[in-house]
A and B are shown apart, each in its own frame.
Chain A
Amino acid sequence: MSNYYGKFYGYTGLFPVLDNEEGHNHLVELRSLLSSLANDRGSLFSRTGLVHGARFFILDDVVYNGHPTVEEHLKNCYLVLSMTFDGELEDLASRISSLGESDWGRVMAHCHSVDASKPAHEVVLEQLRKGQVTTSFLYVDASANLESTLKALLLQRKVAELIENGQGASTEERKALVKALAEQFKHIEIPAPGGFIGD
């Protein structure tokens, strides 16, 4: 199963965009919506608490590379979603559905979808599965889950300061510095993912 890389899951899905209906050009509306979605701490993906990286793009057609290749075209436009996240697809689906009304629903409203009569998390999961294409080769250059990563990035800054402050200090002073930082990190609040630590 190439969708897994250690504890990471690599998801790629294609969702056919709905045909135009009276008063609705779904492709135009979808592109407009995607460009307006929050991609910082207010993002849908930030709120799941599992996603390391995510993207949406429109596959409006395939690419023709010139003679002697045959030119061909797609009959549908697809919304492509890909994500790298912690855990299983089920975990992500239930996090998304637990957000209630969210950007997920607003985006998928422009795409073909599965039967919506089931419980919310099952609908999200089935939608993800229906659109999924299996990854042939996944590569992730990370070892820790999202929470540990964010915490480590915060700690790294504090450790840099500790090393500076501990330069030339006595053992006793160094112990005090280490103890204080360890204590501080037991109760530290990790900022939501999606933002700059520097900000």
Chain B
Amino acid sequence: MSNIRGKAYAMNVITPQKRWKSIILNAAFKLLTIRFTQKDLRDLSFIHFARWTIIPATGFPKFPQQTRIDKTKFDYLLFESNFNGSWNEYVDAFNAALAFKLNLVWYWSENFPGSVPLSPFKAYIEHNQKYNDYYYMAYPGSAVSDVKNAIDVADAFDTLAGQLESSDEDFDKAYLKFLGQTQNKIGINGGHGPQMS
């Protein structure tokens, strides 16, 4: 019953948005998908997964035995993220690095105050946040950067292991290259990380 599992935090934010604005936002997502934001998110390197889902006013799921069907006035934008660090650290960093792009996403939501200044933005996120009843992470002791490092290290090691039959001279070259590829990627991880408070 927690938003936290190991080094990861799970955030859910749901915001109302006028239906015609969803069209603009969907276009913005297409732009985001193919353009700049993904590189920024990757550079920030603390978000495992994130997604935006527009639940259309008439798009709430309908099951056979249901007696009441939801049909709302607004569309609802559901944002879900898995990140490393505390709520405050995440919102601070997201805001410091991507303030303008955050505006592009939530600008269309009702009464969004804008991402700058910070305090009203934080208050809005907090007000619209839904807390988790259950959170699972497959590798709770490893942050996004730990996983990326580990994959690179494993690849570099596989390449090196393929050079075992090479001459000493070639192996030395391969080993040096391997050291270059791994030297900044072997930080120990797998533990619980710092206390978030």
Q: A16-B63, A149-B151, A194-B138 are in contact. Are A69 and B16 (CB under 8 A)?
A: yes
Q: A13-B61, A65-B15, A148-B151 are in contact. Are A196 and B140 (CB under 8 A)?
A: yes
Q: Which residues of B contact A35 (CB under 8 A)?
A: 1, 133-134
The answer on a CB contact under 8 Å between A136 and B131 is no
Q: Among the listed A65, A137, A159, A174, which residue makes an inter-chain contact with B171, where contact means beta carbons less than 8 Å apart? A: A174
Residue of A nearest to B81 (CB): A139
A65–B52 CA distance with the chains assembled, in angstroms: 19
The answer on a CB contact under 8 Å between A153 and B133 is no
The answer on a CB contact under 8 Å between A140 and B48 is yes
Q: A65-B15, A133-B53, A163-B179 are in contact. Are A53 and B138 (CB under 8 A)?
A: yes
A21 in the interface, Cβ–Cβ < 8 Å? no
Q: Among the listed B33, B54, B82, B150, which residue makes an inter-chain contact with A152, where contact means beta carbons less than 8 Å apart? A: B150
The answer on a CB contact under 8 Å between A194 and B48 is no
Query: How many chain-B residues does the 8 Å CB contact rule pick out?
Result: 92
Q: Which residues of A contact B38 (CB under 8 A)?
A: 139
A156 in the interface, Cβ–Cβ < 8 Å? yes
The answer on a CB contact under 8 Å between B53 and A135 is yes
A8–B138 CA distance with the chains assembled, in angstroms: 14
Q: Among the listed A58, A112, A140, A157, which residue makes an inter-chain contact with B63, where contact means beta carbons less than 8 Å apart? A: A112
* Beyond A34-B134, A163-B186, A166-B175, 16 extra complex contacts between A and B, CB < 8 Å: A51-B138, A52-B49, A55-B10, A57-B12, A58-B130, A58-B133, A72-B74, A80-B130, A84-B49, A114-B64, A139-B49, A153-B142, A153-B189, A163-B179, A163-B182, A196-B6
The 3 closest A-B pairs by CB, nearest first: A197-B190, A112-B63, A193-B138
